[in-house]
Amino acid sequence: MAAPADARKIIKKRMKKFPRFQADRFKRMNPAWRKPRGIDGRVRRKFKGSTIIPNIGYGSDKKTRHRLKNGFYKFLVRSPADVEMLLMHNEKYAVEIAHNIGAKKRKEIVERADQLRLHVTNRFSRLRAEENE
């Protein structure tokens, strides 16, 4: 396996999610963030002690954005031909096999990825034990 060429440390400014204001009070309310728009809303007016609003300052470093924990960028592969695109990029991208690929095609993709020294994130999914080879 190749190691990522750019080995800089990935620093996240915030790991916690931004919960929607008052979503903890009502079961019917989705906790996914929605911007408060009320005229008197204390969250929108940024009062001290109230829920914090996501803004551009919480963004990740541009050089490490969208990276996986192992330092690679994810590349979704839907066919064995897609692996060939990463011929010269084995130190930058990791292969992730799409969810709807069968076991036979998965095996082809993993074998070709090994030849190209590519890292496969979900290499052991849908893999049955080999019978006495």
Q: Which of 65, 74, 72 is nearest to 97 (CA)?
A: 74
CA–CA distance, 103 with 113 (Å, rounded to integer): 15
Tell me the pLDDT tens digit for each residue of 32-47: 999 999 999 999 999 9
Tell me the pLDDT tens digit for each residue of 104-118: 999 999 999 999 999
Tell me the pLDDT tens digit for each residue of 47-91: 999 999 999 999 999 999 999 999 999 999 999 999 999 999 999
Tokens of 9: 């440390």
Question: pTM to 2 decimals?
Answer: 0.80
In this predicted structure, the answer to whether residue 122 has a pLDDT above a threshold of 50 is yes
In this predicted structure, the answer to whether residue 131 has a pLDDT above a threshold of 50 is no
* Segment among 20-29, 93-102, 120-129 with least mean pLDDT: 120-129
- Element at 125 (helix H, strand E): none
CA–CA distance, 67 with 44 (Å, rounded to integer): 32
